[in-house]
Amino acid sequence: MFTAEHFIWIGLCAGAVAGLCALSVQKKLSLKTAGGIITAICALSEISKVLSNMVESPEGGMHLDPHSLPLHLCSLMIFVVLYITFGKEGSLKRVLMNFLAVAGTLGSFCAILIPTNGTDFASLPAYQCFVYHAGLMWFSIYLILSGRAKLGSFRVLGENMGLLMLAAFLMLYVNGALSAYDTNFFYLTRPPMENLPVLNLDKGWYVYLLRLVSLGVVLISLFHLPFILASERRKKA
């Protein structure tokens, strides 16, 4: 973390996100257009991940490394993106747009700051990680800038918190079912990297889990706070 290469990646991602946000506002991109762009990024990301994470099968042939299944928070957003882009209008799409706006922005921000795929410019996984998360962050912010995501109520805060906790609870079972492969989806088994402040196993797994959940609650609440305050001011006005 925070090597010269990492800072270059952070700068490239920040520039790409800012540029795409400015372009989407200037051109007033439709949901279909913006969704098409992020869908293409998702497809390229998954193809590159599959190509670089195939492992030999004990019985011959090859299979995808179970650690590369799209079951991390940001990977699950691929399915959310597809529904938002191509699914029918309705309450489900509204809920998912609100969820993606928050989870996609925060999840991508954390993934760029904590580069679990490394920062080597000669490494395909590094490109896959940074390009995908920069694209996801842009699309998440696009939903806010375009007014499609509406985060200014405690009801939406509760919905987003509930969806995240439900997904995390389900991943406890998934990690358990795949324990032979030692998967770590949602980083519920152990921290994403060693020697992280706060998110570590120094006090044991239960304390780590409590810290992880608490951090998620705080970050989501703080993300919603300015939108809720702005909404309350508009109501009073």
Instruction: State residue 124's pLDDT score.
Output: 87
Q: For the segment 85-111, what is each residue's pLDDT rounded down to a tens digit?
A: 999 999 999 999 999 999 999 999 999
* CB distance 37 to 153 below 8 Å: no
Please tell me whether residue 231 adopts helix, strand or coil conformation: helix
Instruction: State residue 52's pLDDT score.
Output: 86
Q: For the segment 112-126, what is each residue's pLDDT rounded down to a tens digit?
A: 999 988 889 888 889
Where helices occur in 53-153 by DSSP H, the ranges are 73-86, 91-113, 124-145
Name the burial class of residue 149, with classes exposed (0-12), middle (13-18) and buried (19+) by CB atoms within 10 angstroms of its CB: buried
* CB distance 134 to 16 below 8 Å: yes
Side chain identity, residue 190: R
Cα–Cα distance list, 140 to 29, 47, 205 (Å):
14, 22, 31
Q: For the segment 11-37, what is each residue's pLDDT rounded down to a tens digit?
A: 999 999 999 999 999 999 999 999 999
Q: For the segment 37-70, what is each residue's pLDDT rounded down to a tens digit?
A: 999 999 999 999 888 888 998 888 998 899 999 9
**What pTM was estimated for this model as a whole?**
0.93
Instruction: State residue 121's pLDDT score.
Output: 86
Cα–Cα distance list, 1 to 9, 23, 52 (Å):
11, 30, 22
Separation between Cα atoms, residue 74 and residue 83, nearest integer Å? 15
Q: For the segment 175-232, what is each residue's pLDDT rounded down to a tens digit?
A: 999 999 999 999 999 999 988 999 999 999 999 999 999 999 999 999 999 999 999 8
Structure tokens, 20: 């795409």
Separation between Cα atoms, residue 37 and residue 114, nearest integer Å? 25
- Taking the CA atoms of the chain, what radius of gyration do you get in angstroms? 18
Reduced 3-state DSSP string for 166-225: HHHHHHHHHHHHCHHHCCCHHHCCCCCCCCCCCCCCCCCHHHHHHHHHHHHHHHHHHHHH
